[in-house]
């Protein structure tokens, strides 16, 4: 333990601030500073260890011991603390890249005495420390008895609520016991309520229970999410409780609820995502499967729903941040908005997202996710040929610089790792990129973009079968993905490289249907149709490709930066030959 933990004191003072552990208040002089409960706990943890680095693992274990959270909950808390302290330049709470955080100013210790604070001598004797401990205990008994009784009441009420069930409490009472106003809830915070087994079929009971567990686990893998533990969610099982009440009691913004129902041999799953503040429905879906294959249905549903909810939650957080902070959103709000805008997948949306991310980084230059998002915008411009000519070289430099900045700050964040890998592939290093993408999948097996990236990197290494399998996994996880056309075109390319022209043509047509303005889909159609002897289809597809990409010739396609892998280059040569058959100029 550090020096501060060896001294029992109810108040820790630093840089003009007074942190009262017994009253759970933060003052600057005589003015109380607002601070959310978890932020207070985090600041207290840092203050008790002032002068040394406290790791992310230590902080999460100390502050969020009862729930499953990601690093983003910690990052957001630190951001809120800095805002409360007026620490925009991070002179008080410092980020130590790849390690954690520290309170970088001296602290002193004391106990409340009227309107002032007293501090012990720096080199106090053991006897003096004992005397201070006794004095602190007396003062706690005299001044903090009411607070202590209130705390004991809250603990007792929470235990009663957990053991007897929420349904036995009135809505008014529940909102007063351990409740948090919706304005204090964490971003991307959600609870998965136990799925209702309609009809009472015992075969469905384990399915509903297992699916609830899997969804809770998988949603906790979503970056920047805060997911209430299953043990807490179970309190509401079988209880008719309003979602707004649940939001207040658990301090969450979103509630996922649903039911399982058997209809003959059909099992029907209904799910809906609800805004815990308004009670309004944000998303709903129904999925059907065979009662004889519940295990397969469970695996299918979990990944698909987790990915869909990821996109829905990002969109919801973006809308919320624009409503709550229309003129001056903070750094994280701007990141939410940027990632929501990027889902439109257009050149204009990419520019808008980049502007939002640059504004975010101006506020918080140590945001690893902000730098990674910026890298993704440059990479998207390059991958989709939204920039041409000399600008491509400049964009590649910017992509590498921003990806490296994010990775230096936090190499364990899945968005950061993904951006780093994507840029490595653009730099002609698919082997290194593939290592990054596999790390992402190890962190979150339901992250569809990582599977697509694995597919693209595998193709660059001439591994067509692995490329197709990975792309099909991305398709399974996100069948309505905003980049569906890319996933389908990647599968088409894999079949074409493997010499399966009929399959390649079918997948390329699906890609072109999903997004007609995606030029490369028409190129795969033209090459595959030409190889199959379908001259009319080849010419029609080539005409559309040339309309969308009028500067493309065999020479310009060869000149594009690509993998140096010998097998890939051999397979790519077949692509050029097919386009020449279709009539593309050399």
Please, which residues have CB within 8 angstroms of residue 470's CB and are 6 or more apart in sequence? 451, 452, 454, 455, 458
Q: Which residues pair with 28 in a beta bridge?
A: 17, 31
Task: Give the count of beta carbons closer than 10 Å to the beta carbon of residue 171.
Answer: 13
What pTM was estimated for this model as a whole?
0.56
pLDDT band of residue 566 (cuts 50, 70, 90) is: very high
Predicted local distance difference test score (pLDDT) of residue 453: 94
Would the pLDDT of 349 be above 50? yes
What is the structure's pLDDT at 203?
64
Per-residue pLDDT of 179-206, as tens digits, reads 333 334 555 688 889 888 887 776 667 6
DSSP 562-575: ----HHHHHHHHHH
Examine the pLDDT at 506 and tell me if it is beyond 70.
yes
Strand order, beta sheet including 93-96: 54-55, 100-103, 93-96
> Which of 75-89, 396-410, 424-438 shows the lowest per-residue confidence on average (mean pLDDT)?
75-89
Q: Residue 271: which H helix or E strand, with range?
A: strand 266-275
pLDDT-derived band of residue 469, with 50, 70 and 90 as boundaries?
very high
What pLDDT, in 10s, does the model give residues 317-347?
666 655 655 555 678 778 877 887 887 888 9
Q: Please state, as a whole number, how many other Cβ atoms lie within 10 Å of the Cβ of residue 342.
A: 22
Q: 482: pLDDT confidence band, cut at 50, 70 and 90?
A: confident
pLDDT digits (tens, 9 = 90+) for 264-322: 778 888 888 888 888 888 778 888 877 666 666 666 666 666 666 666 666 666 666 55
Q: What is the predicted pLDDT for the residue at 536?
A: 96
Q: Is the pLDDT of residue 247 over 70?
A: yes
Q: In sequence order, which ranges of 410-534 are alpha helices (DSSP H)? A: 414-426, 430-443, 448-460, 464-477, 484-497, 501-514, 519-531
Strands 54-55 and 100-103: antiparallel
pLDDT, position 42 = 92
Model pLDDT for residues 388-411, shown as the tens digit of each residue: 878 889 999 999 999 999 999 988
| pLDDT of amino acid 470 | 93
Q: What is the mean pLDDT of the chain?
A: 78
- Model confidence at 168, pLDDT cuts 50, 70, 90, reads very low
d(CA 375, CA 362): 16
- pLDDT tens digit sequence for 123-144: 333 333 334 333 333 333 333 3
pLDDT at 231: 64
d(CA 404, CA 414): 14
Instruction: State residue 145's pLDDT score.
Output: 34
Q: In sequence order, what are the residues at sequence separation of 6 or more whose Cβ sits closer than 8 angstroms to the Cβ of residue 402?
A: 371, 372, 374, 375, 378, 419
pLDDT band at 380 (very low <50, low <70, confident <90, very high): very high
Q: What's the mean pLDDT in 25-40?
A: 86
Beta-sheet pairing, 189-192 with 226-227: parallel
Higher per-residue confidence, 547 vs 83: 547
Q: What is the pLDDT of residue 221?
A: 66
Q: DSSP 3-state assignment of 94?
A: strand
Domains within the chain, CATH numbers bracketed: 3-143 (1.10.10.10), 182-321 (3.40.50.10070)
- Say what the pLDDT of residue 160 is: 27
Q: At what angle do helices 368-383 and 414-426 cross, to 10 degrees?
A: 30
Q: Are 492 and 521 in contact (CB under 8 A)?
A: yes
- What percent helix, strand, coil does the chain show, rounded to 5? 60, 10, 25
pLDDT band at 561 (very low <50, low <70, confident <90, very high): confident
Higher-pLDDT residue of 563, 454: 454
User: What are the residues whose beta carbons fall under 8 Å from the beta carbon of 465, sequence distance 6 or more?
Assistant: 494, 498
Percentage of the chain modeled with pLDDT above 90: 32
Residue 422 has pLDDT above 90, yes or no: yes
Res 353: pLDDT? 92
Question: Rounded to whole angstroms, how far apart are CA atoms 313 and 317?
Answer: 6
Per-residue confidence at 434, pLDDT binned at 50, 70, 90? Answer: very high
Q: pLDDT at position 5, please? A: 37
Give me the pLDDT at residue 192, please.
Answer: 87
């Amino acid at each position: 333990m550090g020096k501060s933990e060896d001294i029992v004191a109810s108040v820790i003072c630093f840089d003009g601030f007074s942190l009262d552990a017994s009253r759970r208040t933060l003052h600057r002089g005589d003015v109380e500073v607002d601070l959310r409960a978890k932020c207070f706990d985090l600041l207290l943890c840092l203050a008790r260890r002032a002068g040394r680095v406290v790791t992310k693992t230590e902080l999460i274990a100390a502050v969020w011991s009862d729930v499953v959270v990601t690093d983003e909950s910690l990052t957001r808390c630190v951001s809120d603390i800095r805002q409360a302290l007026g620490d925009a330049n991070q002179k008080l709470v410092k980020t130590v890249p790849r390690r954690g955080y520290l309170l970088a100013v001296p602290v002193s210790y004391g106990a409340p005495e009227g309107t002032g604070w007293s501090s012990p001598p720096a080199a106090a004797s053991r006897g003096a420390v004992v005397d201070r401990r006794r004095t602190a205990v007396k003062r706690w008994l005299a001044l903090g008895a009411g607070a202590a009784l209130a705390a004991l009441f809250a603990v007792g009420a929470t235990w009663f609520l957990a053991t007897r069930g929420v349904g036995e409490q009135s809505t008014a009472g529940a909102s007063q016991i351990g409740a948090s106003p919706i304005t204090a809830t964490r971003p991307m915070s959600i609870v998965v309520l136990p799925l209702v087994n309609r009809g009472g079929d015992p075969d469905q009971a384990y399915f509903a229970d297992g699916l609830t567990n899997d969804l809770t686990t998988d949603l906790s893998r979503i970056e920047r999410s805060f997911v209430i533990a299953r043990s807490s969610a179970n309190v509401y099982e079988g209880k008719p409780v309003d979602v707004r009440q649940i939001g207040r009691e658990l301090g969450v913004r979103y509630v996922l609820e649903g039911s399982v129902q058997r209809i003959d041999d059909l099992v029907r799953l209904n799910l809906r995502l609800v805004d815990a503040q308004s009670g309004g429905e944000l998303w709903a879906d129904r999925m059907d499967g065979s009662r004889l294959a519940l295990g397969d249905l469970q695996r299918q549903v979990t990944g698909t729903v987790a990915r869909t909810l990821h996109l829905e939650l990002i969109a919801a957080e973006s809308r919320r941040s624009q409503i709550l902070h229309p003129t001056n959103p903070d750094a994280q709000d701007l990141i939410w908005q940027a990632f929501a805008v990027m889902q439109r997948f257009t050149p204009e949306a990419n520019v808008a997202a980049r502007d939002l991310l640059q504004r975010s980084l101006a506020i918080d230059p140590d945001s690893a996710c902000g730098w990674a998002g910026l890298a993704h915008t440059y990479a998207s411009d390059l991958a989709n040929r939204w920039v041409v000519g000399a600008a491509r070289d400049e964009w590649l430099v910017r992509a590498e610089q921003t990806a490296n900045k994010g990775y230096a700050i936090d190499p364990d964040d899945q968005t950061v790792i993904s951006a780093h890998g994507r840029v490595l592939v653009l730099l002609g290093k698919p082997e290194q990129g593939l290592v990054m993408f596999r790390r992402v999948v190890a962190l979150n097996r339901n992250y569809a973009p990582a599977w697509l990236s694995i597919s693209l990197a595998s193709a660059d290494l001439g591994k067509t079968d692995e490329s197709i399998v990975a792309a099909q996994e991305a398709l399974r996880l996100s069948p309505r993905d905003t980049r569906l056309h890319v996933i389908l075109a990647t599968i088409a390319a894999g079949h074409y490289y493997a010499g399966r022209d009929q399959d390649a043509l079918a997948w390329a047509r699906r890609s072109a249907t999903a997004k007609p303005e995606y030029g490369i889909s028409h190129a795969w159609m033209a090459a595959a149709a030409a190889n199959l002897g379908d001259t009319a289809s080849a010419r029609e597809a080539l005409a559309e490709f040339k309309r969308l990409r009028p500067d493309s010739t065999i020479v310009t396609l060869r000149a594009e930066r690509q993998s140096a892998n010998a097998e890939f280059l051999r397979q790519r040569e077949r692509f050029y030959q097919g386009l020449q058959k279709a009539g593309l100029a050399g």
